[in-house]
């Protein structure tokens, strides 16, 4: 049974309560950590304090998230709310892919990791035919050549490069 206030709500309903509760929780967690992450400097003006503006921002987050939660016209979750929350959590998969990439580059090197991860991500995103796999390998190779050789971006060479013979090791560290 829905109330008049619930029926008059304009906008998407699914996930609102979960979002509001999560945002209030995150805001309270962040404001509780402000004393360990910032400092108060003696003999400094209020607006120049390192803790002042982060505190203003975090207090605003807590207040506005609490207001959002308070103004919600309903206080129960449906299965659609949980479906929406599951959609939000799918982004964590790509965070895992990125962290794996970042952790493996210093060990195996920029080129080998790129040549594995780009086609793997293309496969994961649904591009599974042979042509797309070759395009993804070519793209990975082009990105490595562009960043390391042409733009001269300093990306550390992989630890595995140390096992290569002298001149080849130098080439791989500098250009691949």
What are 24-38's pLDDT values in tens digits? 999 999 999 999 998
C-alpha to C-alpha distance for 33 and 36, rounded to whole angstroms: 6
What are the tens digits of pLDDT across the range 32-91?
999 999 888 888 888 888 889 999 999 999 999 999 888 887 777 888 888 888 888 888
The reported pTM is: 0.63
Nearest to 40 by CA among 51, 30, 32, 56: 51
Dist CA 13 CA 5 (whole Å) = 13
């Amino acid at each position: 049974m829905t109330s008049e206030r619930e029926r008059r709500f304009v906008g998407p309903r699914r996930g609102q309560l979960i979002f509001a509760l999560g945002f209030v929780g995150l805001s309270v967690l962040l404001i509780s950590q402000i004393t360990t992450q910032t400092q108060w400097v003696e003999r400094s003006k209020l607006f120049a304090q390192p803790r002042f503006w982060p505190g203003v921002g975090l207090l605003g987050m807590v207040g506005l998230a609490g207001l959002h939660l308070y103004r919600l016209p309903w206080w129960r979750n449906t299965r659609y709310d949980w479906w929406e929350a599951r959609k939000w959590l799918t982004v964590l998969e790509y965070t895992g892919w990125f962290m794996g990439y970042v952790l493996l580059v210093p060990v195996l090197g920029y080129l080998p990791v790129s040549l594995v991860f780009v086609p793997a991500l293309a496969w994961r995103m649904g591009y599974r035919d042979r042509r797309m796999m070759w395009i993804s390998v070519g793209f990975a190779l082009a990105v490595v050549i562009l960043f390391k050789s042409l733009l001269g971006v300093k990306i550390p060479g992989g630890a595995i490069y140390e096992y290569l013979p002298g001149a080849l090791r130098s080439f791989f560290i500098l250009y691949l």
